[in-house]
């Protein structure tokens, strides 16, 4: 089965084509176009206009790169949520148009679950992991338990990526700021005390963000601030992930989301996994960030487990929570 997936929850519009090869995901193509606001944060309407502008070309390019014809696509999937309304609607509209014109079934999928399934689908031996999903808007620790992917811990305010991006903007870095903060942090030497805010299994970042901005106003070295932000936030993320692993007795950990490209975060989680005799997995960067291939792959899993959706019911859901999905395909 070949599925074409359209991702459009926030900054990125992506089209991926995947093939199911004996239960594993073969990515045939995965094209992404990222909206980068000139100034300030993301404006949902402008991001949606960006997505509308590029989607038709992306569809053609992705199908051509996959070396298939539109007529060979068996299924269309799209990100149903969670995300920004105008962006989700643009991706869903394109998916519906394609489904109707090709006369192929359509499936709307949960974006967060897709981050987890692409790891299981593409990485050998990644079977039942605890996912640490760290992106711009999202920060969650997710694992399978009793028929659903449950959220064991999450941010109480902003996502870790947004925390880094907001700080970066304050100090004049270009968006996305995470990679530049990583470079600066690698040169930091002095640890500056920052709030380490874990409540139960949840984490908060906004107090830390304010404290980091205050250090900047007091002329502390930017490298030291970036270093301290990474050490503090990543330690908290690793702690919650470890506790979820202990609680669920799982011995696999998977990273996902744009922040998973950070070497220091990978190292910390990998060390924790090693200490627990657990296995550590991180997909390639193009499968960690928001992308169409992961949406396509979850479409395949859902369709093959018997789930069907009518075009007239293919709604988006801005607040589509991870644990709302009935996961009938997981053994």
Q: Summarize as ranges the residues that interact with ligand ATP (CB under 6 A).
A: 9-12, 83, 135-138, 159, 161, 164-165, 176-179, 182, 257-259, 261-262, 289-290
Cα separation, 217 vs 29, whole angstroms: 45
Nearest approach in angstroms of CB 100 to ligand ATP is 27
Cα separation, 198 vs 211, whole angstroms: 16
> Which C-beta is closer to Fe ion: that of 168 or that of 292?
292
> Which C-beta is closer to Fe ion: that of 20 or that of 140?
140
> Pick from ligand ATP, Fe ion, none: which does 184 bind, CB < 5 to 8 A by kind?
none
Nearest approach in angstroms of CB 61 to ligand ATP is 19
> Pick from ligand ATP, Fe ion, none: which does 10 bind, CB < 5 to 8 A by kind?
ligand ATP
> Which C-beta is closer to ligand ATP: that of 105 or that of 178?
178
Cα separation, 239 vs 233, whole angstroms: 10
> Pick from Fe ion, ligand ATP, none: which does 154 bind, CB < 5 to 8 A by kind?
none
Q: With helix as H, strand as E and coil as C, how does 70-130 read?
A: HHHCCEEEEEEECCCHHHHHHHHHHHHHHHHHHCCCEEEEEHHHHHHHHHHHHCCCCCCCE
Residues that bind Fe ion (CB under 5 A): 135, 290
> Which C-beta is closer to ligand ATP: that of 37 or that of 147?
37
Cα separation, 129 vs 325, whole angstroms: 17
Nearest approach in angstroms of CB 289 to Fe ion is 7
Cα separation, 203 vs 244, whole angstroms: 13
> Which C-beta is closer to ligand ATP: that of 2 or that of 254?
254
CA angle 92, 305, 330 (to 5 degrees): 105
Cα separation, 171 vs 159, whole angstroms: 19
> Which C-beta is closer to ligand ATP: that of 41 or that of 147?
41
> Pick from ligand ATP, Fe ion, none: which does 262 bind, CB < 5 to 8 A by kind?
ligand ATP
DSSP 251: -
Nearest approach in angstroms of CB 8 to ligand ATP is 10
Nearest approach in angstroms of CB 22 to ligand ATP is 29
Beta-bridge partners for 78: 6, 108
Cα separation, 106 vs 84, whole angstroms: 21
Q: Give the list of residues 6+ apart from residue 169 with CB closer than 8 angstroms, or none.
A: 40, 41, 175, 177
> Pick from ligand ATP, Fe ion, none: which does 20 bind, CB < 5 to 8 A by kind?
none
Pairing of strands 148-154, 139-145: antiparallel
> Which C-beta is closer to Fe ion: that of 123 or that of 184?
123
Nearest approach in angstroms of CB 133 to Fe ion is 7
> Pick from Fe ion, ligand ATP, none: which does 153 bind, CB < 5 to 8 A by kind?
none
The SS3 of residue 7 is strand
Give me 4's structure tokens: 């074409």
Cα separation, 131 vs 129, whole angstroms: 6
Nearest approach in angstroms of CB 310 to ligand ATP is 26
> Pick from Fe ion, ligand ATP, none: which does 165 bind, CB < 5 to 8 A by kind?
ligand ATP
């Amino acid at each position: 089965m070949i599925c074409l997936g359209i991702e459009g929850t926030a900054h990125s519009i992506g089209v991926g084509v995947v093939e199911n090869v004996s239960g594993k995901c073969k990515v045939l193509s995965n094209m992404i176009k990222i909206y980068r606001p000139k100034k300030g944060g993301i404006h949902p309407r402008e991001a949606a206009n960006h997505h509308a502008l590029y989607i038709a070309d992306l569809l053609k390019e992705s199908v051509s790169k996959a070396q298939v014809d539109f007529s060979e696509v068996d299924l269309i999937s799209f990100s149903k949520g969670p995300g920004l309304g105008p962006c989700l609607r643009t991706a869903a509209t394109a998916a519906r148009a394609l489904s109707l014109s090709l006369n192929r079934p359509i499936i709307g999928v949960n974006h967060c679950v897709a981050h987890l399934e692409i790891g299981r689908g593409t990485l050998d031996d990644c079977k039942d992991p605890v996912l640490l999903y760290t992106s711009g808007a999202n920060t969650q620790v997710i694992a399978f338990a009793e028929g659903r992917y449950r959220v064991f811990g999450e941010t109480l305010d902003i996502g870790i990526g947004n925390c880094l991006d907001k700080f970066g903007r304050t100090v004049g870095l270009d968006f996305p700021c995470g990679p530049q903060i990583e470079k600066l942090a690698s040169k930091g030497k002095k640890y500056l005390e920052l709030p380490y805010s874990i409540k139960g299994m949840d984490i908060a970042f906004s107090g830390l963000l304010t404290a980091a901005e205050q250090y900047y106003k007091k002329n502390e070295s930017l490298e030291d601030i970036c270093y301290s932000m990474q050490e503090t936030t990543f330690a908290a993320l690793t702690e919650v992930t470890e506790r979820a692993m202990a609680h669920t007795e799982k011995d696999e950990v998977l990273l996902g989301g744009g922040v998973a490209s950070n070497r220091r975060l990978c190292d910390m989680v990998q060390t924790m996994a090693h200490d627990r005799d657990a296995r550590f997995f991180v997909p390639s960067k193009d499968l960690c960030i928001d992308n169409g291939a992961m949406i396509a792959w979850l479409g395949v899993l859902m369709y093959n487990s018997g789930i069907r959706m009518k075009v007239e019911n293919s709604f988006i859901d801005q607040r589509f929570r991870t644990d709302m999905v009935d996961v009938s395909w997981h053994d």
